[in-house]
Structure 1
Amino acid sequence: MRRFFSRSLSARLLLLTVGFVLAAETLLFLPSIAFFRQEGLEMRARSASLVAEALMSNQVGGDPSREASAMLARQFMMQTDADFLAAFQDGQTLLILGEPPQANIIAVVDLRNTRRFPDFIATTMDFFANGDGYLRIIAPSPIDGQDRLELLVPCAAIGAELRAYAGRILLLSLLIAIFVGILIYLAMLRLIVRPVRELANDMTAFREAPELRRQLSPVLDRGDEIGQLQREFHEMKQSLRSSFRQRERLASLGLSVTKINHDLRNVLSTALLMADRLSMNADPALSEMGERLARTVERGVGLTEEVLEYSSAREPEPVLETVQLGRIVADVQMDMRTAFPRVWVANQIGHDVRITADPEQLQRILSNLLRNAAQAMDGQDKPKIEVAADIVADTVIVQIGDNGPGLPDYVEDRLFLPFTRGNSDSSTGLGLSISKELAEKMGGSLELLDTGPDGTTFILGLPRAYIQA
């Protein structure tokens, strides 16, 4: 039970509700008991007026207290706890019931004026009164010619009555607090506690086995904060599961590349040997072709190793040096002429633009961007790619723009995530992800500037290199 109240949100909610209701009842207790005392005193005054009128109307002569019936006196005294009742007329005191007591009069209450606000201090004193002493109550007389009526009530009787009333109020407050607490507890259990508990269990199950799909217990159409929390958690699970699937695909890719890496390197080694022989040919055209083929095969070997490192979550560190940007773009431009002869690549970068970068990784970034653009413009009339550069402070901004159909809307938000494909079905979806990571490793950035029916433009930012004078 102690563990239940210390760890259960619903139990704490029940206790808080009961506590708050009792706190509200406590604030209302003193005004309530003060009004009760005021009404009790006024009731005694009304009863005294009725008794005095009845006795005085039956008076034939002599002292009216001797003429009163014993039954009426006992009933009045039992209902009002009064020990003495007298009327005052023309400066004389007419005893109606009882004899003047010898005890002290603790307080005087005059009820002849208009109804006044209850006296909290007097109520507090009467509540704790349990000894000798009387409360003197002055009330207007219903009989013509009489000035007033006075009755004496023991303070102990008033205190006992107030304490009995307080006990009833306390019991009633407890019943109300428990009843209201149970109602609020049931409402909160249905609206908050149970959905939160189900969500917590779902989180625990997802943490223990995130790859397993489970049926969602709560519906996702609630419009309040709980519903928002459920939807956000559902979206988070979908995103994480998608990430897990991508990691599994990357792991499978790494395993596949590892298996074929040895055989592929043997094939590329043979192609590299043939390229070396061509480069030693006496014909300048064949010699240049052999050199380009050798460089292409070497890049192929490097790409294979980098794909293996990427799938193994081990990215190669860049070797930074001062690079002439226009020359790297020209090399990629020559490769594009061979692979995509219909695509016109316009190199608008001057020979004086130099950056700090890894030449191999920079060439890979540019090759990915230009190949993606060429593949997106497959079948289009007059496909064109423009490569330009601007120098802004210490950064060289390279713009790669095409006149293709643009990227689909569903691709823009996850363009640089692995296995995200644009308009081309032949790509693996790794090019932009790898290019962005390589650019950031070199201290640069890669972003999508604009895309639409008129074409797509990417921005590649790289550190500017200064030539020592």
Structure 2
Amino acid sequence: MRRLFARSLSARLLGLTIGFVMLAELLLFVPSIASFRQEGLEMRARSAGLVAEALMSQDAEASSREASQMLAEQFMLQTDAVFLAAFQDGRTILIVGDAPDAKVIATEDLRKSRRLPNFIGTSMDFFARGNGYLRVIAPSPVAGQDRLELLVPCAAIGADLRAYAGRILILSLLIAAFVGALIYFSMLRLIVRPIQRLAHDMTAFREAPERKQRSGPPTMRADEIGQLQREFHEVKQSLRSAFRQRERLASLGLSVTKINHDLRNVLSTALLMADRLSMNPDPKLAEMGERLTRTVERGVGLTEEVLTYSSAREPQPDLERLPLSRIVADVQMDMRTAFPRIWVSNRIARDVWVRADPEQLYRILSNLTRNAAQAMADRAKPRVEISADIVGETAIITIEDNGPGLPESVEDRLFLPFTRGQSEGSTGLGLSISKELAEGMGGSLELLDTGPDGTRFILGLPLAEPA
């Protein structure tokens, strides 16, 4: 039983409910039993007044004496009184019984009005078991009499109080059991059962987080339990989405590993042909060969970076001091070839030097400009502007376009893997890789704002020390 109450929330709830109801009954019991004693003494005083009025008006005939004797016996039987006397003009008139030899323990004057019952007298009478008497003083209904006094054994009053307490105890237990059952079943339905289901779902999710459990829609309860259930449902959805992304990344890494060797052979052949083309005497062909060489080398680097990302290893940047405008110019030239309709404006001053990895910086800027170009495919005058401001020891690079903006559904998870924007052909890895590359170089990449008039990203990089 002790183990049941220690482990079961419902058993604890039932025990606490019954305990609190009994505590409330106990707090009500003290004034209740004091009021019961007060009412008992007042009832005895009224009976004494009726007996005094009846006996004082009887004639001295034999039949009257017999009736008086019966009335006195009935009064003593009902009230447990052993003595009743009236006081008139300084004289004591004995009505019923004789004064006992035992001492009077306490006196209760009913002629004084009380706002509160006598709690001290009640406690004394409740535990009284000896031969003492309680002296009760009451007003007399007979004209000319000052008062009535009667003696009642304290043991008799204590017996009445204990009998009353027993009845109250039984009634309190019944009320506690009934109210406790109502509260228990209400709490069981409103609190315990939902928490048990939530605990079961948590256990099942912990044991097999990737397996989708059968569960209904999120609850519509507006209280704290409903909020907890909805939050847990959202957490499960988010974690399962993360598990799916992890599986896709693992599959992507395995696929890239398999094709990496063959792709290197193809790119090596293309790189060899580009090198020969760059050595052509014709300047135009030589320039095309150099650009083709850089493109193939970046393709090789792209394959390596995707493989590194899929294997959860951060690429190590090779930081060097380089002019920011030159990297932007390379991006500008490649964008003119890939997207002739897109106007890329390079507003970087020539004296802005940053400390970064040239290939990774090119990758970041290329990803951002290509995403903007793909989103502006239907624009009449698509434009991308790249500018920079110096803030302290950091170069704040702004990449701004006049495209349609990003959907609101992807703004909060824009830099998470496999999050697509406006482009349908994107894998959703570009921005997540770019953010990781920027942070690896000691910088940052953030979305500044987006809307129907365009989108702005800011790339922060540390400035290079003067040469």
1:36 equivalent in alignment to 2:39: no
1:259 aligns with 2:258: yes
Hey, what's the Cα distance between the residues in 2 that align with 1:344 and 1:217?
52
Question: Which residue does the alignment assign to 2:333?
Answer: 334
C-alpha distance in 2 between matches for 1:449 and 1:25: 65
Indicate the residue corresponding to 2:385 in structure 1.
386
> 1:288-331 deviations in whole A, cap 9, x for unaligned?
32222222211111110110111111121222222211111111
2:122 is matched by which residue type in structure 1? T
Alignment of 1:55-454 (within 5 A): 55-60=55-60, 69-217=68-216, 220-454=219-453
Change (3 A) 1:321 1:74: farther
State the Cα deviation string for residues 108-162 of structure 1 (Å, max 9, x = none).
1111233542111121121221112111001111111111111001111112221
Which residue type is aligned with residue 175 of structure 2?
I
User: What percentage of residue pairs aligned between the two structures are identical?
Assistant: 77
Query: Could you tell me how far apart the structure 2 residues matched to 1:53 and 1:67 are?
Result: 16
Distance 2:464 2:296 in 1: 29
Query: Is the contact between residue 322 and residue 354 of structure 1 (CA under 8 Å) also seen in structure 2?
Result: yes
Q: Which amino acid aligns with 1:343?
A: I
Q: Distance in 2 between matches of 1:319 and 1:126?
A: 96
How far apart, in 2, do the equivalents of 1:438 and 1:142 lie?
A: 106
Shift of 1:281: 2.3
Moved more, 52-61 or 451-460: 52-61
Query: Structure 1 residues 100, 59: CA separation in 2 closer, same or farther (over 3 Å shift)?
Result: farther
Residue pair 2:218, 2:230 contacting (<8 A) in 1 also = no
Please give the secondary structure, in 2, of the residue aligned with 1:112: coil
Please give the alpha-carbon distance, in whole angstroms, between the structure 1 residues aligned to 2:128 and 2:456: 92
Residue 17 of structure 1 corresponds to which residue in structure 2? 17
Q: Tell me, in whole angstroms, the C-alpha distance in 2 between the residues paired with 1:128 and 1:420.
A: 81
AA partner of residue 14 (structure 1): L
CA distance in structure 1 between the aligned counterparts of 2:386 and 2:32, rounded to whole angstroms:
86
Give the SS at the match of 2:144: coil
Distance 2:115 2:349 in 1: 99
Quote the Cα distance in structure 2 between the aligned partners of 1:38 and 1:219: 60
Instruction: Tell me, in whole angstroms, the C-alpha distance in 2 between the residues paired with 1:319 and 1:419.
Output: 27
Deviations 1:189-228, CA, capped at 9 Å, x for gaps: 1111111111111111122122222332576222222222
SS in 2 for 1:345: strand
Displacement over 4 Å in runs of 4+: 66-70
Task: Give the SS at the match of 1:417.
Answer: coil
Structure 1 position 403, deviation (Å): 1.3
Q: How far apart are 1:101 and its partner, in Å?
A: 0.5
* 1-structure distance, mates of 2:397, 2:115: 89
1:51 maps to a residue whose letter is V
Amino acid at match of 1:21: V
Question: Residue 18 of structure 2 aligns to which amino acid in structure 1?
Answer: V
Deviation sequence 1:408-462 (CA, Å, 0-9, x none): 2222222111111111112111101111111112221111112222211111111
**Letter in structure 2 aligned against 1:54:** A
Q: Which TM-score applies when normalising by structure 1?
A: 0.95
On the 8 A contact 1:346/1:385 being kept in 2, the answer is yes
Q: Return the letter of the residue paired with 1:284.
A: P
Deviation at 1:284, TM superposition (A): 2.7
User: Contact 2:218 / 2:233 at 8 angstroms: preserved in 1?
Assistant: no
Contact kept? 2:315, 2:440, Cα under 8 Å: no
CA shift, 1:78, in A, is 2.0
Which runs of no fewer than 5 residues in structure 2 stay unpaired?
none
How far, CA to CA, are the matches of 1:317 and 1:145 in structure 2? 116
Q: Secondary structure at the match of 2:181?
A: helix
Contact in 1 for aligned 2:401/2:456 (Cα 8 Å): yes
CA distance in 2, matches of 1:30, 1:263: 93
Determine helix, strand or coil for the equivalent of 1:387.
strand
Which shifted more, 190-199 or 119-128? 119-128
Give, in angstroms, the shift of residue 267 of structure 1.
0.4
Deviation at 1:67, TM superposition (A): 5.7
Look up the equivalent residue of 2:308 and give its one-letter code.
E
Q: Normalization by structure 2: what TM-score?
A: 0.96
| One-letter amino acid matched to 1:428 | T
